[in-house]
Amino acid sequence: MTTRTLRRWFVVHKWTSLVCTLFLLIICVTGLPLLFSEQIWDTFVGDDDPPYEVLPPGTPKASLDVIVEKARALYPGQIITNVSPDDDEPAVLISMAPSWQALKDDESYPDRNSGHWIKFDARTAKVLEQSHPADAPKEPRTWTGIIMGTCNQLHTSLFAGLPGRLFLGLMGGVFVVSLISGTVLYGRFMKRLPFGSVRRDRASRLTWLDLHNLLGAATLIWATVVGFTGLVNELQTPLFGLWRVTDVRQILKPYANLPVPSQDHLSSVQAAFDTAAKATPGNEVTGLSFPGASFGSPVHYVLWTRGATPLRARLFTPVLIDARTGELTGAYPMPWYLRFLEISRPLHFGDYGGMPLRILWALLDIIVIGVLVSGLVLWAGKRKITADARLRALGYDLDDTDGVAALAEHA
């Protein structure tokens, strides 16, 4: 490696690290509680649902048509927007609203929410819990909800919506570049030192430098994976938007100008679930949207199915079923870029290996925070020194491109 190349790598690493450090600290700190969000909610908020009725093993589930009709009876004149079986409990969530127009108006007024939901026991079709409808007073938010909501917004968008997501995605890319450049410098730096050396008998700055290098090398693969998958996840809005204006638009084009039929004359919801399951062997149906939903079809049930195994659980395949006749229109696997996005999510959040993997992710997150802090300390101590002087102070002999000399005494 020539001296000019070494200088360039040093400058790249310095500035890419400085540019993204503050935002990475925000992401790392807010990511810790989000890793254990379920446990935090269970501990500080708890579950106010009434206990499930004890039934004999193998009790069949109630027909979804029965549950849908009970929801309509509770709120006559309202529409059903979604039917969502629970993943972990024998429950079905029915989402409702005064009308599709009311939901569209909500998009213009983010502080207003016209929708509400009802939770049914999937076996007995009894109501377990329901949110307050739009015309009822809302329950005050808890401190847990405020804190977790703040962490989620900071972690995903910095409270800036799509521009914030894209900006954090850019910072993820800059972070990956800083890791690559740091690896190049570390390989050169450690040529004449045992791997992982932490020299405590020299200046304190050298100890900070060695700790920064060691922790960075130890978490290199994990940080690269999490940084890159974080970048990919921040692109979900434009990627799904691309899918909607290309594939989805072509699929729905023949139906775009048809009127939305009355929900009193739609085909069976239960039959739609059964048809979607047959159309996607090996998948499980996770939910159904009624005709008229945003980005849906005016005349189709849109059912979402996903793989039943851990490796395929993030791969979704939408199915269209004509809600007027109950006939299958087609199953449409997502394009490769959305499949790549969905596969990247468990790698970023560590949510495919249970609690042990979440704990490992948290420990690695804390170590990366240490790398970021130590990098700031190193920069603050030498911020007025030229690049060549800093390289020499850190042990690089710019006249000897084949190796690394001993660290200067004044470092």
Output the pLDDT for position 408: 33
- Give the residue carrying structure tokens 């790392």: 28
- Mean per-residue pLDDT, 266-275: 97
- Specify the pLDDT at position 390: 57
DSSP string computed for 55-115: --TTPPPPPHHHHHHHHHHHSTT-EEEEEEE-SSSSEEEEEEES-HHHHHHHHH-TT----
- pLDDT exceeds cutoff 70 at 347: yes
Cα of 401 vs its chain's centroid, Å = 44
CB neighbour class for 5 (10 Å; exposed up to 12, middle 13-18, buried from 19): exposed
Q: Which of 372, 333, 261, 244 is nearest to 296 (CA)?
A: 244
pLDDT band at 106, cuts 50/70/90? confident
The 10s digit of each residue's pLDDT in 114-171 is: 789 999 999 999 999 988 776 566 666 788 889 999 999 999 999 999 999 999 999 9
Q: pLDDT > 70: what percent of the chain?
A: 85
The pLDDT of residue 401: 43
Q: What is the mean pLDDT of residues 15-32?
A: 93
29-54: average pLDDT: 83
